[in-house]
Structure 1
Amino acid sequence: MVAPVISGAGVGLRRELIPALKTCVPATIDFFEIAPENWIDLGGPLGRDLRVFTERYPFVCHGLSLSIGSPAPLNEELLRKVRQFLEQHGINLYTEHLSYCSDEGYLYDLLPIPFTEEAVKYVAGRVRRVQDILERRIALENASYYVQAPITEMSEADFIRFVLVEANCDLHLDVNNVYVNSINHAYDPLEFIRAMPSERIVYMHMAGHYNEAENLIIDTHGTNIIDPVWSLLEDTYRIHGIAPTLLERDFNIPPLHELMHEVERIALIQARHINASHG
């Protein structure tokens, strides 16, 4: 099966949304995203529902538990299941977080990898092994984090760039994570965006967050996107061009017709930048 190419604006296929989507998929939705761990080996009505959608619409898989920066061995059994799942559903793009969530067991949070040359080589080697097993190029997402790793030899932006080059993989750019980290760690989000390599950006995320304190934001994916993050998306398109962009909403999921307001806003921003480039 030839995997369809994703483009435009997308939304996560959450189980809460399936009844409404089975009735009608809004024309603004160009593609869907799923976490493969939530669907692998799932049969029954939900498994059949997923098959109906993957046969009709482009999909991307965004992993949750690969734990690419972990000191523990890669879960190669999971990766082989992921490869089979991608092939079964005709999905080409698989992305994961540039962080880790396991050591002797899985953790509830994504933890930051030390920004060091040693970590660059370690992570890149693991990414190359992942790409060999999956038989495809993957993309890594810049992750939100709340505590700086104890050892830092370079900036977050430099660390990401060096990993992408060393591993020869692509970038899944989460615009909200850039904003969250810029507040939590006091850096210029636009400078960070400019530092990302345009040629490796294949996919983007937009999401809402929670303001815990004046200088602490929690990346919840449970609220509406705020204006500074929308502005940062505009700047990102202006600097790097348009990439497929998905609305991430994992908690407090509103009815589909309400959720579509933000998907439509992504599509409108994309259309405006396309028209501006043609003008």
Structure 2
Amino acid sequence: MHNTFTSTKATVGLGLRRGLMTDLLAARDDDVDFLEVAPENWIGIGGAQGHGFRALAERFTLSCHGLSLSLGGPAPLDVGFLREVRLFLDQYKVPLYSEHLSYCSDDGHLYDLLPLPFTEEAVRHVSARIAQAQDILGRRLAVENVSYYAAPQHDMDEVAFTNAVLREADCDLLLDVNNVYVNSINHDFDPQTFLAGLDSGRVVGMHVAGHFDQSETLKIDSHGAPVKPVVWSLLAQAYARFGVQPTLLERDFNFPPFAELRAELQTLRRLQTEAMSRG
């Protein structure tokens, strides 16, 4: 297995979903550089799915993107789960573990990624929890900017809030370019200004995905459709701002023939090549 994250940042990835298992096992080695998994979905998995997972882990670098840590939540962090994740990351030599800058649980899991208020109190709360998670994991954590539809209290804008968390927690950013676009339409801000305001040295990876056009003023982050041209364009601008970073094509359902996903991955490679040629 080649560790693509350490050899070059010009890499493209795809989420390892059970609905894509057969296609990924049959994929060419040059179709994709890394596979992203939610560790909670694969820790201890057995049977045919576990066999397929281990076969893919031998061929491709794994990146981990968690779903249930609830970094911004009110309940104590699940220390036992974090220790399991650390063992998983070590076992598969995972170079990047990321989670969402949001919360998803209190007394139980809410099965949604809910936005945090953009306040100083929230900065202190989530930053302390990220720092605690990093201590248990023994490595840096990247947090992802999330899409949101209801806006909690905003004493500052999203860029200021995100930068404050990154600095206070001393963690990294997984930049979801589609979420930037979706939020820019739903909350009426300029996406280029958003990118320009982020701390440039914190971005260690990127996501792109398709979204659903509910209306001209409402976009839904669906992960169930091809990436739209406006998001490809914004990704090119993100490369110009932050440099080329490992980039994941997110597709969670409505899986097309694998040839269509391969074509989107090739678009990613082309944008990375063009960005590097421009310096």
The interval holding the TM-score normalised by the smaller chain is over 0.9
Does the CA contact (< 8 Å) of 1:98 and 1:143 recur in 2?
A: yes
TM-score normalised to the size of structure 1?
Answer: 0.95
Aligned with residue 207 of structure 1, among 178, 199, 209: 209
* Alpha-carbon distance, 1:40 to partner: 1.0
Distance in structure 1 (CA, Å) of the matches to 2:20 and 2:114: 30
d(CA) in 2 for partners of 1:25 and 1:87? 26
Mapped pair 1:140 → 2:143: yes
CA drift of 1:214 comes to 2.2
Structure 2 counterpart SS, 1:108: strand
Partners of 1:56 and 1:140 lie apart in 2 by 26
Count of equivalent residues:
276
> What is the one-letter code of the residue matched to 2:236?
E
Give SS of 1:153's match: coil
Q: Please state how far the C-alpha of 1:20 moved relative to its aligned partner.
A: 2.3
Deviation at 1:3, TM superposition (A): 6.2
User: What residue is the counterpart of 1:5 in the other structure?
Assistant: 5
2:275 alignment partner, SS class: helix
Q: Find runs of 4+ consecutive structure 1 residues off by over 6 angstroms.
A: none
Deviates more, 1:138-147 or 1:106-115: 106-115
The 8 Å contact of residues 209 and 223 in structure 1, kept in 2 or not, is answered as yes
Deviations 1:90-122 (A, max 9, x none): 112100000011112111221111101111111
Which residue matches 1:216?
218
Structure 2: segments with no counterpart, 5+ residues: none
Amino acid at match of 1:45: A
Given the superposition, is the C-alpha separation of residues 145 and 100 from structure 1 closer, same or farther in structure 2, using an over 3 Å criterion? Answer: same
Distance across 2 between alignment mates of 1:93 and 1:236: 19
User: Equivalent residues in 2 for 1:159-170 (5 A)?
Assistant: 159-170=161-172
Identity across the alignment (%)? 51
CA-atom RMSD in angstroms: 1.5
Q: 1:76 aligns with which of 64, 75, 79?
A: 79
- 1:248 and 2:268 equivalent? no
1:269 equivalent in structure 2: 271
Deviation readout 1:65-91 (Å, 9 max, x if unpaired): 111000111111211111111112111
Query: CA separation in 1, counterparts of 2:168 and 2:235?
Result: 27
1:141-160 map, 5 Å: 141-149=144-152, 151-160=153-162
Deviation at 1:26, TM superposition (A): 4.8
Structure 1 unaligned spans of 5+:
none
1:62 — aligned with what?
A: 65
Name the amino acid aligned to 2:234. L
Correspondence for 2:261 among 259, 267, 276: 259
For residue 105 of structure 1, what is the aligned residue in structure 2? 108
SS in 2 for 1:252: coil
